[in-house]
C-alpha cells in the first residue's frame, strides 16, 4: 500500500487489497513464490500474526507448511536462520512457538523438537538475554538434539558445547540436589558456577524441585559472598606471582563462603595458604 504525494493529501494505492486484509486482521503473501524467494517470511509471518493478533490466511498457511516441509529454511545461512528465530521469539514466545509448531517450523529445525506436554506458559517466564533459550528448553536433556540445533544456528564452538552439555550438567545437579541443600555453601558454589547466568535463569524459571531450590540457595547464601583480597594485594605484599596465588584465593573463597573466616581475615588466610605450598 502507498499514499500519493499530491498536495491535497493523496490517494491510497492498494493494488493487492491490503486494506481489506488489514481490516479483516489477515496475514497474506503477495504471490505464490513468496516463501521460496525468502524463507524468513514464514517466521516473520508468525511474528506479525501473533504481535498484531491477526490470523494467517488459509492458503498462506498451506504454502508456509509446504515450503517448510520441502526444506525452504535449509537454504538460509546459519546467521540468517539464527537472526530470524531470535527476532521472532523476542516477544510472546509461547504463542509464537505454538503457531510455529502448527506450521511445521519446529520439526524443520529438528525432527525431535516439539512442544509436547511442556507447559507453554513457562516459556514466557524464561530469560530475555537471548530468545534462543526457548529452544534450549525444548531440547531438554537431549544432548544430540541441542548440539544439532546449535550447529544449525552456526553458534561458536564454546556455545555449541554449552548447549550440548546442559542436559548432562542439569542431571548431575539434580542428582546432587538433596546433599547440596544441607551441605556446605562452598559445595553449592562449585556445583552451580559451571552454569552461566542465562542457564541459571532458565533453571529458576522453567524447572522446579530440588534443582531450583539449589539455585535459590546459591542466590541467597553464595552469590552475595565475594573476596575483598585480590591477587594484586598478595603480590604487593611480597608474594611471588604465579598459579599458587590463584589456588590460595580459591581456598580463601571457599572458607569465606562457608563462614570459616570474615572479610578482614581474608588476607592473612590467603597468605597462610601460600605458605603451606612452600
Q: What confidence tier does 132 reach under pLDDT thresholds 50, 70, 90?
A: confident
Contact status, residue 179 vs residue 101, Cβ threshold 8 Å: no
> Is 134 contained in some domain?
no
Is residue 135 pLDDT above 60, yes or no?
yes
The tally of domains found in the chain comes to 2
Please report which helix (H) or strand (E) contains residue 3, including its range: strand 2-3
Q: Helix, strand or coil for residue 227?
A: coil
> Is 152 contained in some domain?
no
CA nearest 133: which of 158, 154, 157, 159? Answer: 159
Per-residue pLDDT tens digits for 27-77: 999 988 999 999 999 999 999 999 999 999 999 999 999 999 999 999 999
Q: How far apart are CA 157 and CA 140, in angstroms?
A: 19
Q: What confidence tier does 115 reach under pLDDT thresholds 50, 70, 90?
A: confident
Please report which helix (H) or strand (E) contains residue 139, including its range: helix 133-139
The residue out of 85, 109, 133 marking a domain boundary is: 109
Per-residue pLDDT tens digits for 232-271: 999 999 988 999 999 999 999 999 999 999 999 999 999 9
The residue out of 109, 139, 171 marking a domain boundary is: 109
> Is 244 contained in some domain?
yes
Q: How far apart are CA 43 and CA 84, in angstroms?
A: 7
Nearest 5°: the CA angle 262, 263, 268 is 85
The residue out of 57, 84, 109 marking a domain boundary is: 109
Enclosing domain of residue 35: 2-109
Amino acid at each position: 500500500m502507498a499514499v500519493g504525494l499530491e498536495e491535497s493529501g493523496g490517494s491510497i494505492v492498494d493494488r493487492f487489497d491490503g486494506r481489506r486484509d488489514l481490516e479483516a486482521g489477515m496475514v497474506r503473501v503477495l504471490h505464490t513464490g513468496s516463501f521460496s524467494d525468502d524463507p524468513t517470511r514464514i517466521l516473520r509471518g508468525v511474528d506479525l500474526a501473533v504481535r498484531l493478533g491477526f490470523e494467517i490466511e488459509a492458503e498462506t498457511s498451506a504454502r508456509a507448511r509446504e515450503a517448510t516441509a520441502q526444506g525452504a529454511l535449509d537454504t538460509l545461512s546459519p546467521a540468517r536462520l539464527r537472526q530470524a528465530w531470535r527476532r521472532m521469539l523476542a516477544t510472546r514466545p509461547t504463542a509464537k512457538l505454538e503457531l510455529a509448531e502448527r506450521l511445521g517450523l519446529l520439526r524443520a529445525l529438528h525432527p525431535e523438537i516439539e512442544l509436547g506436554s511442556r507447559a507453554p506458559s513457562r516459556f514466557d517466564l524464561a530469560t530475555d538475554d537471548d530468545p534462543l533459550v526457548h529452544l534450549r528448553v525444548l531440547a531438554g536433556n537431549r544432548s544430540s538434539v541441542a548440539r544439532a540445533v546449535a550447529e544449525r544456528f552456526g553458534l561458536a564452538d564454546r556455545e555449541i558445547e554449552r548447549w550440548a552439555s546442559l542436559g548432562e550438567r542439569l542431571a548431575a545437579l539434580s542428582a546432587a540436589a538433596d546433599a547440596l541443600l544441607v551441605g556446605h555453601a562452598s559445595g553449592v558454589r562449585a556445583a552451580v558456577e559451571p552454569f552461566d547466568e542465562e542457564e541459571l535463569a532458565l533453571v529458576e524459571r522453567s524447572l522446579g524441585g530440588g534443582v531450583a531450590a539449589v539455585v535459590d540457595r546459591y542466590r541467597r547464601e553464595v552469590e552475595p559472598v565475594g573476596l575483598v583480597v585480590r591477587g594484586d594485594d598478595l603480590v604487593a605484599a611480597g608474594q611471588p606471582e604465579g598459579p599458587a596465588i590463584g589456588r590460595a584465593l580459591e581456598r580463601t573463597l571457599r572458607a569465606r563462603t562457608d563462614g570459616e573466616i570474615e572479610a578482614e581475615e581474608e588476607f592473612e588466610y590467603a597468605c597462610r595458604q601460600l605458605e603451606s605450598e612452600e
